[in-house]
Amino acid sequence: MNKHFVGDTAVLLGRSLRHIARSPDTIITTAIMPIAFMLLFVYVFGGAIETGSDSYVKYLLPGILVITIASGISYTAFRLFLDLKGGIFERFQSMPIARSSVLWAHVLTSLVANLISLVVVIGVALVMGFRTGAGVSGWLAVAGILVLFTLALTWIAVIPGLTAKTLDGASAFSYPLIFLPFVSSAFVPTESMPGPVRAFAEHQPVTSIVNAIRDLFAQQPVGTDIWIALGWCVGILALAYVFATVTYRRRIS
């Protein structure tokens, strides 16, 4: 690895974070949709949903956090696409810098931006009555899962960011990711779903992630869900990283 990797990544990360600081709308729009879903489901549909939990916002929050990440990562594709279009990407590539730091800076920016959005969403949930007795270790475990999940989805986002032909194409890929939580245990217990849907819901990554976070917040034993959740996150992360790196190499050679 290039000796300048850490330094170059830090400089480029500083650049992207400045972008975010100057257009905080990217964080606001990331947080608005999940907050709207949360309001809608808690105050409109929630009364009719039987979850077996004492408060619906408590049941709902983990799924909302997943949606927050899924909508937030599309900005990585967006920013990467703009860099490629604008010519600054070529400037970086023709300079004596560690080449992978260009991608890593975007990935770390996504992590920072998503963590801010998540804090905003959790803040709104607290106002809406979300309470947890989870201690420091519980919160750390939740944060760990969310960080891994953000990194996994961000590396997926890098691929359309590098290959898209239009700006819309670069960010449209995230729509299916946003709707994946709807066919999971995020909004309603999977037991209420008909056979094939239930089978899908119980074996897709969002359900295990949502269940693990829910158990951590409720201070329940997490069981196997957390290992399945970690397995999904690490698996997606590794696969997306490899594909993104290959795409990047092809793009710059």
Partner 1 sequence: MLAAMSIPPTTDRVEQAVISVQGLEKSFTQLKVLRGVDIDVARGTIFALLGSNGAGKTTVVKILSTLLRADAGTARVNGFDVTAQAAEVRESISLTGQFAAVDEILTGRENLVLVARLRHLSGPGVIADDLLRRFSLTEAGSRRVATYSGGMRRRLDIAMSLIGNPPVIFLDEPTTGLDPEARIEVWQAVKELAEDGTTVLLTTQYLDEAEHLADRIAILHEGRIIVNGTLDELKQLLPPVKIEYVEKQPSLEDVFLTLVGARTNKEQR
Contact set with partner 1 (CB under 8 A): 4, 7-8, 11-12, 15, 18-19, 22-23, 86-88, 90-97, 252-253
Give me the half-sphere count of Cα atoms (radius 13 Å) on the Cβ side of residue 173: 23
In the complex with partner 1, which residue's Cβ is closer, 17 or 49? Answer: 17
CA separation for the pair 88, 231 (Å, rounded): 37
Q: How far is the CB of 83 from partner 1 (least distance, A)?
A: 9
Q: How far is the CB of 98 from partner 1 (least distance, A)?
A: 10
In the complex with partner 1, which residue's Cβ is closer, 7 or 123? Answer: 7
In the complex with partner 1, which residue's Cβ is closer, 92 or 173? Answer: 92
Which has the closest alpha carbon to 110: 80, 143, 145?
80
Q: How far is the CB of 84 from partner 1 (least distance, A)?
A: 11
Q: How far is the CB of 251 from partner 1 (least distance, A)?
A: 10
The answer to whether residues 35 and 115 touch, using CB atoms and an 8 Å cutoff, is no
In the complex with partner 1, which residue's Cβ is closer, 23 or 219? Answer: 23
Q: How far is the CB of 2 from partner 1 (least distance, A)?
A: 9
Task: Name every residue whose Cβ is closer than 8 Å to that of residue 197 and which is 6 or more positions away in sequence.
Answer: 183
**What are the Cα distances from residue 227, in Å, to 191, 208, 213?**
21, 9, 12
Q: If you ran DSSP here, which 8-state letter would residue 194 be given? A: -
Surface-to-core class of residue 207, CB atoms within 10 Å of its CB (0-12 exposed, 13-18 middle, 19+ buried): buried
In the complex with partner 1, which residue's Cβ is closer, 104 or 182? Answer: 104
